[in-house]
Amino acid sequence: MADSQESMPIEQATPEELTEIISELEQYRERLVNDTLSMAQRAKVMKAQAMAYLEPNLAQIDAQIQALRDRQAALSSGN
């Protein structure tokens, strides 16, 4: 069940596809934070400790989102 977006280079994505990918990544990021904090609370782990554990993953997701937004802006400006 591979999605066509997974095998397509970002350079070939349309602005609409980029918008969809950005939205999905933002939802994934939010779900990751919420699920991790929920599990941390049940395991009696401090929120700061859980967030410190998540930070490298969040930074990577944020960088990917920014790269997609940059690409989307380049397409919008006719580049």
Q: How many CB atoms lie within 10 A of CB 21?
A: 20
Question: Is the pLDDT reported for residue 1 higher than 50?
Answer: no
- Show me where the domains of the chain are located: 14-76
User: How does pLDDT run across 14-65, given as a tens digit for each residue?
Assistant: 989 999 999 999 999 999 999 999 999 999 999 999 999 999 999 999 999 9
| Amino acid letter for position 4 | S
SS3 for 47? helix
pLDDT tens string 17-28: 999 999 999 999
pLDDT score recorded for residue 40 = 94
Q: Of 32 and 75, which is predicted with more confidence? A: 32
Please give the Cα distance from 52 to 42 (Å, whole number). 17
